[in-house]
Structure 1
C-alpha cells in the first residue's frame, strides 16, 4: 500500500489532551495579619483593672501625690488670699500718708520739730490734710494707790482733734477729742494701752503724774501707725496746761494726692525744717504693709519648694508601686502576650495605670488644698482666693510625674517574653 492509498482519516493527527475547564479561582498567598488597635475606652478599662485589684496600695500611693499637690495649692491659695486682703487694706487706708519726724541730735535724743510745722506743711500745694502728735513727759498709773515707780508701760502723747481723720482710725468705745475736750484732763487710750491699764469701758479714771484724767474713749487698732495702740492721747492745750508740754510736735502726719506723694516727700524735710533738712526723717507707713507682702511672697516660694519635694516623693512612691505591680503580674502579662497582645498594648496598659494613679492623687490633693485655703481664709476673715492656674498647674504636674514614674515599669512589662513570663509563675 502506498501513501496515496492511505485513508484520509489516518493522516489527521489526534488533538492534544487538555484538562476540563474549572470554575474555582487560582490559589493565592494568605493575607498578612495585623494586630487590632485598642480603643481609648479599652485602654482606660485595662489600665483601671490593676487599680481596682489593689485598692489599699493605690490609696497609699495616691496619698503621697495628694499631700504634695494639697501643699502647693494651699500655699498658693493662702498667699493669694493674704495678698488680696492686704491690697484691700491698702486701698482702704490709702498709700498717700507720709510722716515727718525729727532725727537724732548729737546727744542721741530726738530733734524737736518747729511748733509751726503743721502750718508749713499745709502750705504745700498738693497737701490735703496735715496734723501732728507730740511726746508728753507724764507717767501713767492705774490709780493714785499705785506707786509712782510702777508705771503701766503706757506713754502719753498730745494729739490734735483731726488726727483720726488723717490716719483713717476709728474709736471702738466712747468718743474722740474735740475742740472742747482737748482743753480738759481727758484722754483716749489705744487698744493695747487700755489692756495694760485694765480698762474696758470709758468713764474710768487714771493718773497722769499727779493728775486724775478721765478716759473718754478707746481706739480700734491703728493699722497704718500701730505705735498709737500703746499710748494715751490728750489734747495739745491740755498737755501744755497740766503736764508741762512745750508744744513742739514729735510726728507730723500728711496726706496728699496719690500722684504727688513722691514730689511732696522730696520737699517735706526742707519745708518742716528749713535750717536743717538733714535732721528730718520722712517715711511712708504703707511701705510696711508692702514689705509684709514681699515677705509673704518669699515665704510662699519656700513653701512651694517644700510642696515640690513632697510631690517628688509621691512620684517615687508611684514608681515603686508600678514596679512591684509589674513583678506581681507577670503571669497576666505572659497570658496577654500569648493571646496576641502586642508590646505596645502592654506598655500602654501600665503607662495608663500609672497616669490614672497620679491623676487620682492630684485631683484629691487639689480638692484638699482648695478646702484648706477656704477654711483658713474664713477663719482669718479673708476672701478665699485659689488661682485656677494653681489647680491646673498642680494637676498637670501630677500627670507629668505619673508619666515619668510609669515609663520604666511599662517598658519593662512590654519587654517580657510570653514564655518567660508564664514560667515565672
Structure 2
C-alpha cells in the first residue's frame, strides 16, 4: 500500500491509542473531582471516615452513578466524600501529586487544577497552608512525571465558592500567591443558579486591579444572563462550561439536527454569544459532565461541535475525572466516535487551550513549541507512513 496523502491522513479517524498519545491541555479539571478511588479509601481509613463502599471498583462505580443524575446540585453532593479526606497538608499534597501523574499518563502536557481552599480547613489548616500543600504536590508530580518521560506543566487556580461569603478573602489569597506555589488565577464554582458572579463583584474588581486573570463557572446550570454576568461583573477571560450560550442563538436546532456545516450561515448570534465568539472568550467545555448534569442529551448532540464550527474558542475538558469516569483521552475519543471529530479538530482545540492558559505568553510558547508541536509532528508522520 502506498503512502497516504496529507489530506487522507487528516481524514482518517484517529484510534484510541493515537488519541492517548496526542499532547493535551486541560484548563478545567477540579482537583477534588479527580481522586483515585484507592486513595480515597486509604485516606478515609486513616481518619475513620465512612464511605459508600470500601471496594475500589465499587467506589469508582458509586461516584459515576451518583453523579449521573441530570442534576448539578446532586452532582455536587459527591464532593462531600472527596473533600472529607482532603483536610490535611499531607492528603492535599498526595492528591495533587497523583493527579499530575494521572494526567501525564493520559498525555496531558499542561493542566490547570482548580480547587477551593476554603473547603479544606476542618483540621486546622490555614488557607495559606492549603495553597502551599497543593503547590508542593503539583511540583512533586511534575518531577516524577518528567523522570518517567512524561513531562507536564501544572498550575493551580484558587477557587471561591459562589454560595459562600469568602470571595474577597480568597481573591486576596490568590493575589498574594500569584506566581508562587504554582498559583496563576482565580475561579468561582459551586451551585450556579441563584448565585451570580455579581454577588462577588468586589472580589473580581480586586483581581482586575491586580491583573490576576479569572475564569467563571457560567452557562452550565443557569442561562445566558449568568454568562453575561460573568463577563461584566466577573470580567471573565474564560467561561467554565458556557454551554448554554446557544440559548442566545437562533436556528441552532435545525443546524444541529442536520449536522451540516453548509447550514451554519442560518445560525444567528445574539449579543452575548457574539461577544463570546468575536472577543475569543475561551469556553472550557466538558462534554461528559454536561451530559451528566443535563446540559446536553449526549456527546453527539452536545453544542461543542456546533460552537467549534461557528468559530468559538472551544476547548475540551474533563471537569471531574472521578465523577464522570473519564479522562482527556476518553473525552476526545467520544467526540471522534460520536460527533465525527477529526485529528485536526483535536489538535486545533489543544492549541486553543494552550494559548488560553493563564501562564505568561513566553511560557505558553514553550509549552506549544516543546511539548505540543514535536509530538503532533511525530503523530502526523506516523499516520502518513501507516
TM-score, normalised relative to structure 1: 0.20
Q: Which has the higher contact order (CA 8 A, sep 6+)?
A: 1
Task: Point out the structure with max Rg over C-alpha.
Answer: 1
